[in-house]
Amino acid sequence: MSLINKEKQTFSNPILPGFYPDPSICRVNEDYYMVTSSFAYFPGVPIFHSKDLVNWEQIGHVLDRQSQLDLDGAGISGGIFAPTIRYYKRTFYLITTNITNGGNFIVTSENPAGPWSEPYWLKNAPGIDPSLFFDEDGRVYYTGTRPAEDAKYFGDHEIWCQELDLKTMTLIGERHGLWRGALKNAHCPEGPHLYKINGYYYLLIAEGGTEHYHAVTIARSKNVFGPYEGNPGNPILTHRHLGKKHPISNPGHGDLVETQNGEWWMVALASRPYGGYFKNLGRETFLIPVEWEDGWPIVSPGTGKVESSYKVPDLPVFSVKKAEIRDDFDKEILSYIWNGIRTPREEFYSLTERPGFLRLKLRPQTLVDTLKMPSFDFQYVEKENFIIDCPSFIGRRQQHMNFIACVKMEFNPQKDYETAGLVLIQNNNFQYRFEYSIVDGQKVIRLIKCISKTDINFALKTFNSENIERKLAQAAFDSEVIYLKVSADGQDYNFYYGDSLENMKLLIGNVDGRILSPDMAGGFVGTYIGMFASSNGKFSSNYADFDWFEYKGGIVK
User: Per-residue confidence at 274, pLDDT binned at 50, 70, 90?
Assistant: very high
- Distance between CA 356 and CA 444 in Å, rounded? 26
Q: Specify the CATH architecture of the domain 326-553.
A: Sandwich (2.60)
Which tens digits make up the pLDDT trace of 529-554?
Answer: 999 999 998 999 999 999 999 999 98
User: pTM of this prediction?
Assistant: 0.94
Q: pLDDT digits over 490-503, tens only?
A: 999 999 999 999 99
Residue 385 pLDDT class (50, 70, 90 cuts): very low
Whether the per-residue pLDDT at 283 is higher than 80: the answer is yes
Ranges of H-type helices in 139-288: none
Of 22, 158, 163, 435, which is the active-site residue?
22
List, in order, residues 6 or more apart from 516 with CB less than 8 Å away. Answer: 280, 398, 424, 425, 426, 430, 431, 432, 527
Question: Taking the C-alpha atoms of 158, 97, 519 and 42 in order, what is their torsion angle to the nearest 10 degrees?
Answer: 170
Residue 269 has pLDDT above 50, yes or no: yes
Q: Could you tell me which residues come within 8 angstroms of residue 293 by beta carbon, excluding any fewer than 6 positions away?
A: none
Query: Helix, strand, or coil here: 276?
Result: coil
pLDDT digits (tens, 9 = 90+) for 448-486: 999 976 544 333 333 445 678 888 999 999 999 999 999
CA-nearest of 255, 248, 265 to 305 is 248
Mean pLDDT of the chain: 92
* Residue 383 pLDDT > 80: no
Contact indicator for 143, 192 with CB cutoff of 8 Å: yes
pLDDT digits (tens, 9 = 90+) for 289-304: 999 999 999 999 999 9
The C-alpha torsion from 306 through 309 and 310 to 313, rounded to 10°, is 110
Residue 384 has pLDDT above 90, yes or no: no
Let me know if 196 is exposed, middle or buried by CB neighbors in 10 A (0-12, 13-18, 19+): middle
pLDDT tens digits, residue range 344-377?
999 999 999 999 999 999 999 999 875 443 334 4
Question: Which whole-number Å values give the CA distances from 449 to 69, 398, 421, 470, in the listed order?
Answer: 31, 18, 14, 5
Residue 145 in contact with residue 191, Cβ under 8 Å?
A: yes
Q: What's the pLDDT score for residue 8?
A: 75
Mean pLDDT of 204-208: 97
Active site residue 190: yes
Over the range 104-127, which residues count as b (16 or more CB within 10 Å of their CB) and which as e?
bbbbbbeebebebbebbebeebbb
C-alpha closest to that of 13 among 49, 57, 54, 48: 54
CATH of domain 4-311: 2.115.10.20
- pLDDT (average), residues 378-399: 69
The DSSP result for 9-44, as a single string, is TEEES-SB-SS--S-EEEEETTEEEEE---BTEESE
Catalytic residue selected from 129, 190, 418, 435: 190
Domain regions of the chain by residue span? 4-311, 326-553
pLDDT in tens, 18-39: 999 999 999 999 999 999 999 9
Q: Which of 200-214, 245-259, 318-332, 347-361 has the lowest mean pLDDT?
A: 318-332
Return all residues near 498 (Cβ < 8 A) that are at least 6 apart.
482, 483, 504, 505
